Amino acid sequence: MHTLVTGGSGYIGSHTVVELIGAGHDVTIVDDLSNSRASVVDRIERITGYRPAFVEADVGDPTALDRVLGTRRIEAVLHFAGLKAVGESVARPLRYYAVNVGGSTNLFDRCRDHGIRAIVFSSSATVYGDPDVVPVTESTPLRPATNPYGSTKAMIERILSDLHTSDPSWQIAVLRYFNPVGAHPSGLIGEDPRGEPNNLMPYIAQVAAERRPFLSVFGSDYPTRDGTGIRDYIHVVDLARAHVAALDYIVEHGGWRAWNLGTGAGTTVLELVDAFQRAANVEIPRRIVARRPGDVAETWADPTRANQELGWKATLTIDDMCADSWRWQQFARSLE
């Protein structure tokens, strides 16, 4: 198929482009480069031997999307484009609703007019809020998000559900990620945040590389095995492969379907730090600080539905995630 990947030069999008190419799909990337680099396309070509088409554009721009969709035989869309910093979303909620929700509705509207009905949406486990029971299944009740970023994911899910209800010819996959980490084993693409990282793994990596002086561990008094929060970390390559499987599924079966993507196992903050120290063979300076408002003690996925329906399973370990992140971090320093 010829797939359009919005946000395809970003972290998860770029790894998914690699897997789509490996599965034989043609790919066009649309990205406004607000949190990524155009050189990612060169590195995707180095990894795969195939150069995806690239268009610098905002998914909120209907004219730009019409130009892309009207000149290419796009058959499916994998939608990653959007803002993702939780703290920034609290400070600038209107921007997040305008970009994430407004950009998505514009994209779906243009897809409808161009006869494209297959959508794979990059959602998040934040739609579950603070669940009462773990592991989290797809039947776990959705709860109001604790921040505007999470609210935008829940809103877009609802929009896609309503869209399918109004017209069952839409083929929609909603993928609820837990905690993506790691990098491509080539070391050529990975998470490359601009400014201070918002996520744990890239922050650990930057401390290991002496780009930052120490890691702040938010809370050591949670009711967990070492007092720090537990999360389900999933290797970004495993995550990317799930997108290809989800695309195949909806094209064959149709409908609207949601899947949790995780390993089914939880790792504490300190366990992740220890694994990174082993991978990089360095000491990670750390300081214990107060809990952050809104953080939950523990959450991890039950990925049974994805295992059974998609024929997909996360196979890469925490040690793989840390080793690949460290390899990428060493390369990323050359990009500065």
pLDDT in tens, 156-173: 999 999 999 999 999 999
- Non-local (6+) Cβ contacts of 135 within 8 A are 264, 300, 301, 302
What is residue 290's predicted lDDT score, i.e. its pLDDT? Answer: 94
Residue 52's pLDDT band (cuts 50, 70, 90): very high
Please give the mean pLDDT across all residues of the chain: 95
**φ/ψ bin of 156: left (φ > 0), alpha (ψ from -120 to 50), beta (otherwise):** alpha
**Active-site residue numbers?**
149
pLDDT at 195 over 80: no
Residue 100 has pLDDT above 90, yes or no: yes
Task: Identify the residue whose tokens are 């080539």.
Answer: 186
- Indicate the fold that domain 2-183+233-262 takes in CATH: Rossmann fold (3.40.50)
d(CA 125, CA 79): 16
User: What was the pLDDT predicted at 128?
Assistant: 93
Across the range 121-128, mean pLDDT stands at 95
- Cβ atoms of 17 and 80 within 8 Å: the answer is no
SS (H, E, C) 16-44: HHHHHHHCCCEEEEEECCCCCCCHHHHHH
Higher-pLDDT residue of 211, 237: 237
- Longest CA–CA separation in the chain, Å: 56
Question: Quick one: pLDDT at residue 336?
Answer: 66
pLDDT digits (tens, 9 = 90+) for 65-74: 999 999 999 9
Q: What is the pLDDT of residue 107?
A: 98
Q: Is residue 145 pLDDT above 90, yes or no?
A: no
Mean pLDDT score, 241-245: 98
**What integer is the mean pLDDT of 176-184?**
97
Q: What is the structure's pLDDT at 51? A: 97
* Average pLDDT over every residue of 29-46: 96
Confidence check: pLDDT of 33 > 90 = yes
pLDDT in tens, 302-330: 999 999 999 999 999 999 999 999 999 98
Strand partners of residue 191 = none
As a whole-number percent, the residues of the chain with pLDDT over 90 amount to 89
Identify the pLDDT of residue 196. Answer: 81
| pLDDT digits 0-9 by tens, 284-297 | 999 999 998 778 88
Task: List, for residues 212-231, the tens digit of each pLDDT value.
Answer: 999 999 999 999 999 999 99
